[in-house]
Amino acid sequence: MKSTMFQIILIGTMLFAVSGSATTSDPEVYESTDIKVIRSWQKFSFKSHLFNCQFSPCCSEYAINVIQSHDFVIGSLLAVNRIVACNPLARYCYDQDANGYLIDNPGYSDFLDRNITIKPVNTFEKLEYGVIISPGVRKLISGRWSDFAVTTSIIGVGTLLGEKRLERGEFVHGSFTLSVVGLIYIADMVWSFEHIKKNKREF
């Protein structure tokens, strides 16, 4: 199961790094800081069954990998997207390895392989990139229905809740809620874009 504490740590360090980016041009400082924070979290969480992750690699290790392979902001957004994917429904959507951990396979689903026959390639590309702005849709058509369900639920319910709080004059709570919704929406778009790039193929 995903941990709310780890989400807060990851989002907090991401905002810390982005807020300081205007005062320095050295991204390695923030990458190192973020990874150290995640490593510290791992030392604590790996000792407790309460925070065991259902994915392999686990969400915290995935966060380190994508931050190291991408720039800090993109890597952090991909990590946020993975945390959203680590939900109770994932066990009914993702394949499992020999040890029972879920495998985060970024490839196309059988549905796409069987049904996408659009030509020429540039027409298909326009269709693909147009889907990015629709929350969760890319996940749905790539077979990740659990990610689609949770992503759209969080965005939909979170937006309504945030707006209600603002209407009641709860500016801090409403703004925070809408900020989290916005972060998850941006993370979904970034994942969709990266998923398309990684799975680009010729027809």
How many CA atoms, within 13 angstroms, populate the side-chain half-sphere of residue 151?
Answer: 28
Torsion angle in degrees (nearest 10) through CA of 12, 13, 19, 20 = 150
pTM recorded for the entire structure: 0.72
Number of helices (H) and strands (E) in the chain: give both, helices first: 9, 2
Q: Which amino acid is at 115?
A: N
Taking residue 153's Cβ as centre, other Cβ atoms within 10 Å add up to 12
pLDDT per 10-residue tile (average), the chain, 203 residues:
46 46 43 76 76 86 89 89 92 88 62 39 55 83 88 95 94 93 93 78 39
> Of 178, 181, 175, which is closest to residue 154 (Cα–Cα)?
181
